[in-house]
């Protein structure tokens, strides 16, 4: 087993998640509710714990992680508002669809997937056992990454061919990330900031974009079901991280 081989499996896992979102697009609000929970779970049970652990190993207190998280959250917020060009009232926001925002959201997830591949590669530089453990975790949640990428693209009115293209990029990203580690290594101090920064990106996408859209599409009658699916999404990521830890 090596990083390149295991990263190939992430391609099929990501693609399967995206096709699932495409096939059930008429029930997209249910998928979005689950997706928001998954993103919350990735942030709370994967990215932040990893960043805090690494920070402690370097003698830090985790403050840089939280600064990076706030920076990622606020930067995406600023970019989104810039792309929208015009302002909308907060209560009306859920009724607007902006393809460019979907692309930005998907691009953030592609960046995360690329770093997932780097994580696999760097883990194999430590030991084969560590590499396999990290790869299993990445493969397990890359299904949801593919689902998330397709969902946010469709959510903001992007056509299926464009959404599929972004899904393909998301599926390829971990492979490229793993291969790139053959040429370089990432200083731990930089990795701490990356983990916090992308946690902020994903937190914004889940809490300020996907979840409000899911509830606006479903109506008040399905609110309880959506809340349950969001909890299920977060819980599933907690279980995945517990099993693969």
The position carrying tokens 């960043």 is: 51
Of all residues in the chain, what percent carry a pLDDT higher than 90?
A: 19
The SS3 call for residue 30 is: helix
> For residue 241, which of 43, 68, 56 has the smallest C-alpha distance?
43
72, 39 Cβ separation under 8 angstroms: no
Which range of residues forms the domain containing residue 118?
3-244
User: Can you say how many angstroms the Cα of residue 193 is from the centroid of all Cα atoms in its chain?
Assistant: 16
Per-residue pLDDT tens over the stretch 65-102:
999 999 999 998 887 777 554 333 344 444 455 787 78
What whole-number distance in Å separates Cα of residue 124 and Cα of residue 118?
10
Question: CA 235 to CA 223: how far, in whole Å?
Answer: 18
Q: How far apart are CA 171 and CA 164, in angstroms?
A: 10
What six digits make up the tokens of 127?
A: 């030991």
Contacts of 63 (CB under 8 A, 6+ apart): none
The total number of structural domains in the chain stands at 1
Average pLDDT, the chain: 81
What are 23-74's pLDDT values in tens digits?
876 776 787 788 888 888 888 988 888 889 889 988 999 999 999 999 999 9
Residue 140 has pLDDT above 50, yes or no: yes
């Amino acid at each position: 087993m090596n990083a390149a081989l295991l990263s190939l499996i992430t391609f099929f896992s990501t693609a399967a998640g995206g096709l699932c979102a495409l096939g059930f697009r008429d029930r997209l609000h249910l998928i979005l509710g689950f997706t928001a929970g998954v993103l919350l779970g990735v942030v709370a049970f994967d990215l932040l714990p990893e960043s805090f652990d690494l920070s402690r190993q370097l003698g830090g207190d985790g403050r840089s992680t939280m600064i990076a998280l706030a920076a990622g959250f606020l930067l995406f917020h600023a970019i989104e508002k810039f792309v929208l060009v015009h302002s909308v009232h907060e209560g009306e926001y859920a009724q607007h669809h902006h393809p460019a925002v979907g692309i930005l959201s998907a691009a953030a997830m592609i960046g995360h997937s690329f770093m997932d591949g780097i994580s696999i590669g760097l883990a194999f530089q430590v030991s084969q056992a560590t590499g396999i453990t990290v790869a299993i975790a990445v493969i397990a949640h890359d299904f949801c990454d593919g689902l998330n990428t397709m969902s946010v693209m469709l959510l903001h009115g992007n056509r299926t061919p464009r959404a599929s293209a972004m899904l393909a990029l998301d599926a390829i990203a971990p492979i490229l990330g793993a291969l790139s580690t053959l040429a370089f290594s990432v200083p731990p101090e930089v990795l701490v900031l990356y983990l916090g920064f992308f946690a902020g990106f994903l937190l914004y996408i889940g809490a300020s974009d996907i979840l409000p859209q899911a509830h606006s599409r479903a109506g008040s009658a399905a609110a309880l079901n959506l809340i349950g699916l969001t909890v299920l999404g977060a819980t599933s990521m907690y279980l995945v991280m517990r099993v693969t830890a």
